[in-house]
Structure 1
């Protein structure tokens, strides 16, 4: 699986599942609904809807997906550092942030390589 749209689709599904698992685990752990746990789910839905645009080589949609992924990685890095260096310690939230960061880097890397290959292909077609 090396196509950017496939990796984006897998990452978006992971984000959706992580958010749903997070809100469910919070409910069973503390007995209340913490809707901020759905933030990865909303980002996952945005990225999921970007998948067809990436597959059709729509540059604008690809850049939106890269921007959303970058924003999510930065937010997760900030939250992970707060949890580790704060008094929270290592728990369920930190694992979720680590999964989001690792998947985001994987997805962003594939998108960047895809953009480079697309530019190279268009440059070669222009020369022909």
Structure 2
């Protein structure tokens, strides 16, 4: 299994790329600047800057990364359901939301496992 900070870094890079691709594709397709397409990019930047803190086992930064990832998953689920259950059907945006959700679950899972392992290490250290 990869380290949590590595998974966080991969997920943040995926968010950066997806956001920039969505922004560029919207401009090339329609010809306008849709700045809401950059939302994954901003979340990706936040998570990317959290990577060093996660690697150094800073619990506060790890919790911020988990909170940001959870918020992004919830927003993406809402937007995915809004598009699929609404008139939009299944298109490019829905694929992006699905990618964000699956990557977020993968990242959040690794963060939760990391927090559990960290608590076990601290408990074992306190006993000895």
Q: TM-score, structure 1 length as denominator?
A: 0.99
Partners of 1:64 and 1:53 lie apart in 2 by 10
Residues 61-100 of structure 1 aligned to structure 2 (within 5 Å):
61-100=61-100
Q: Deviations over 1:29-57 (max 9, x none)?
A: 10111000000000000000000000000
Q: Which residue of 1 aligns with 2:30?
A: 30
Residues 39-78 of structure 1 aligned to structure 2 (within 5 Å):
39-78=39-78
Unpaired segments of 5 or more residues in structure 2? none
Partners of 1:54 and 1:8 lie apart in 2 by 9
Q: Which residue of 2 aligns with 1:118?
A: 118
Partners of 1:113 and 1:19 lie apart in 2 by 27
Partners of 2:23 and 2:58 lie apart in 1 by 33
Q: Deviations over 1:61-108 (max 9, x none)?
A: 000000000000000000000000000000000000000000000000
RMSD in angstroms over aligned alpha carbons?
A: 0.6
**1:2: Cα distance to partner?**
1.6
Partners of 1:124 and 1:82 lie apart in 2 by 46
Q: TM-score, structure 2 length as denominator?
A: 0.99
Unpaired segments of 5 or more residues in structure 1? none
Partners of 2:125 and 2:30 lie apart in 1 by 58
Report SS of the residue matched to 1:57: coil
